[in-house]
A and B are shown apart, each in its own frame.
Chain A
């Protein structure tokens, strides 16, 4: 295992930023999200868990799926550009597991989503382990851990050694190997601190028991206050629903260029299921909110073998009316008896 000082880590990041796209947690007017940085100086180092997840760099909020150019000389369908090689630094273990959840549907279930696959291939994930679980974190409830290495190429763990901050780097994948080729630091074994875990969290019932609870009046009550906005799904590292629409890119005499854009969408919003003519099989906020929880704890595990929730707690913090997914898990546990 390689051990780096903070200075060495920063120097290495500066070096990476020269020839790769380096993305790291940044503070945008008080909100923490993952943004392109020109060096270690722009990184918001003292972050717990960002407000927006790194999903924005693998499954961007808006992306061109293809471009259509129509002119007298015929119609061409053009592929979107290849994403540049990117290093995602400062990824928390829960977010990395979020990518694995999206992989389960976008990559592991045919046909694989080409644009997401290209982003995944072009991106190397450097994780930073969490020293503890914070207020709205519950990764241990959904099979994660503050120091889990799943879905990461390199995991850095911060540790103190006679009042000096060091980072122990575990290189986990072949991609990580390639990136860590010229990583500074000394090669030695060091004991990794174990993160402080939050006790007394509810246990997640298996998906079969969720099926039995589908028609409980509980789902009506928890959804009463839902505003049917899209905040919880947009901050979620595992949500991956999208809308597709053609947008006019440019219209010149004789040449028209359209982009087939794909953008995030949310099952909690009303137009998501509204069909031409106005009929909506899920008309109420309650029925839509229930679908969101069932997708995460029943449909996704059943269809794609991976939970749809990684316990990051972003939806708990982002929800304007405090709809708390951990409270939902506890309620289903109580209902299951």
Chain B
């Protein structure tokens, strides 16, 4: 079997030659840095690369292709290279009627889990999936399947839960103090697609324009909650943050509680609604 990169390129060429407008994958820049790439012609597919540093969630770019290119036409078909964690975002967006599944061709890359020497990524250490939950083309590396799926028991979250409230507050205030409110986390998140974010809303003016601690605390806690039960744990927010703030801890705390309360894993089934967007009359939860 050819290398993962070659399989991705072949799949991309195949899609581009059959009516797909653009393939979103990764390319390597002149400085050697990996970055998202948008391939419109089959002749460009050789720009596509693959490697452990491909750590953004490319499904986030599907929001740019939701509108038709020309008035009167249907929205374009696009293909996107996805890891198992990214693929969950497709199911989330299909359920939330942001995209039609047939308009997004997923080139699913089977994940070999966190291999030593990779930049250690929180999401990979605890990822329980090796094959994307949804794909149109599956790309697999030959040889053994790498580390077995891990069972995420949220050890770091449980550890923080044993701190005193004051310790946790000081921890988060120290982390949020570094934030420069650039919104890279929100802009890189497939689940964040509001036309006007509450943090920037002018009418009503929920929070001030100041780049200061109260506003940053408000933004991150509010954004984490708006992703409760919707976050697909791809850690694109942490990858995008220029100030390396451990944002995934907020999302994983909520994922832990959502799993405990509702036994729900985001993005596994496009039919099942994220828990906070539905209800169960018979349910009585501890308030």
Contact = CB atoms under 8 A, between A and B. Distances in A.
A220 to B, nearest CB: 10
A27 to B, nearest CB: 11
Given A245-B208, A322-B33, A229 B183 contact: yes
Interface residues of B, number: 40
Contacts of B243: 31, 51
Contact of A261 (B35, B56, B208): B208
Report, as a range, how many residues of chain A touch the other chain. Answer: 35 or more
Given A61-B180, A227-B184, A231-B184, A31 B244 contact: yes
Contact of A229 (B33, B184, B200): B184
A321 B182 CA distance: 14
Given A264-B211, A271-B200, A320 B240 contact: yes
A225 B188 CA distance: 10
Contacts of B174: 29
A324 B32 CA distance: 12
A225 B35 contact: yes
Contact of A320 (B180, B209, B210, B239): B239
Contacts of B208: 245, 247, 261
B181 interface: yes
Nearest to A322: B35
Nearest to B34: A322
A263 B200 CA distance: 12
A322 B60 CA distance: 16
B31 A320 contact: no
Given A61-B180, A221-B38, A229-B183, A271 B240 contact: no
Interface in B142-176: 174-175
Interface in A35-87: 51-52, 61-62
10 interchain residue pairs of minimum CB distance:
A320-B240, A322-B35, A227-B187, A229-B184, A61-B211, A318-B242, A231-B182, A62-B210, A225-B36, A230-B182
Given A29-B174, A316-B31, A322-B29, 19 more contacts: A31-B244, A52-B180, A62-B212, A221-B38, A227-B187, A229-B182, A229-B184, A230-B184, A231-B242, A234-B180, A235-B180, A243-B209, A245-B208, A320-B184, A320-B240, A321-B35, A321-B56, A322-B34, A327-B30
Interface of A: 28-31, 51-52, 61-62, 135-136, 221, 224-225, 227-231, 234-235, 243, 245, 247, 261, 263-266, 269, 271, 285, 316-318, 320-322, 324, 327
